[in-house]
Structure 1
Amino acid sequence: MIHYIWPIALVVLANVIYNISTKSTPAGANAFLSLAVTYLIAGICAILLYLLQDGHTKLTAELSKLNWTSIALGISVVALEFGYIHVYRAGWTVNTASLVANIALACVLVFVGFFLYKESLSIRQIIGIGVCVFGLFLIK
């Protein structure tokens, strides 16, 4: 059971730290330079963890397994974090911004799963989307 729970617990903990850090980014700091430093640190951490986990594998062999997704993920993560920095600079509060963004994301991903990955779409999910949208109106 722990193998099922620890990844989601890590996601929640990382998101808490992420939102606190993003909201605490100085208003006068250049967002792109801040992201560059962020990704420099992230890159160093990722390389070190790669070496600790799989240091015996040839780097070129591992690189050959990658495709367009690494590029798309890199661009989307920069856009996501740039967006969040400006969400907080625009005056959104931590408790509202994350909630609105995640509810909207969850609703959109239901349809992405249905149309792109042929996942099922139940009446319960459609009702849930309706409840979420109604909840967004109650927030503000």
Structure 2
Amino acid sequence: MNIYWPIALIVISNIFYNICSKQTPDSINPLASLTITYIIGAITSGVMYFVLNRDGNLLREYNHLNWTAFVLGIAIVGLEAGSIYMYKAGWNINSGQLLYSSILAIALIFVGYFLYHEVITWTKVVGITICLIGLVFISK
């Protein structure tokens, strides 16, 4: 299996995600808008499940759920509402996303270290430093 298709899917989806977040009308509460987003997302997930699993049994799959699906749902609301509110607050599409992505990259290095015992190498320390320098330039 090609290891790059998930990255391409993330990039393409994220482009549309940011465009849609920025274009959400000011006249609607972001959380109201997200109710439609999640209905469409649930329908799309269901259709794709059955397209990719011809003999699939969605109810049987639910027996394998754990806490992650529920917490992920809450996290996704935070991500999407945060993005919409970020753009409503006046952030540009090119700097707002870069700012939170840089902060996120730094935070995930520490999450990887503390939760998954991943090694923090000198190259990662240099990467953190570059991110911090980039944040200074982005904020100017």
TM over 0.5: yes
Query: Which residues in structure 2 correspond to 1:1-140 (within 5 Å)?
Result: 3-140=2-139
Q: Distance in 2 between matches of 1:77 and 1:130?
A: 28
How large is the RMSD of aligned CA atoms in angstroms?
Answer: 1.1
Secondary structure at the counterpart of residue 64 of structure 2: coil
Quick one: which amino acid aligns to residue 71 of structure 2?
A
**Cα-to-partner distance string for 1:43-68 (whole Å, 9 max, x where unaligned):** 00000111111242332321011111
Task: Say how many residue pairs are matched.
Answer: 139
Distance 1:38 1:83 in 2: 14
Please give the alpha-carbon distance, in whole angstroms, between the structure 2 residues aligned to 1:114 and 1:126. Answer: 12
Identity percentage of aligned residues = 41
What SS does the aligned partner of 2:4 have?
Answer: helix
Does the 8 Å contact 2:49/2:56 carry over to 1? no
Question: For residues 98 and 48 of structure 1, what CA distance do their matches in structure 2 show?
Answer: 30
Instruction: Please list the CA deviations of residues 117-136 of structure 1 after superposition, one character each: whole Å capped at 9, or x if unmatched.
Output: 01111011012101111110
More moved, 35-44 vs 4-13: 4-13
Deviations 1:1-51 (A, max 9, x none): x71111101110000000000000001101111000000000000001111
| C-alpha separation in 2, matches of 1:113 and 1:94 | 28
SS in 2 for 1:109: helix
SS at match of 2:26: coil
Alpha-carbon displacement from aligned partner over 1:98-124 (angstroms, at most 9, x marks no partner)? 100111101100000010001111011
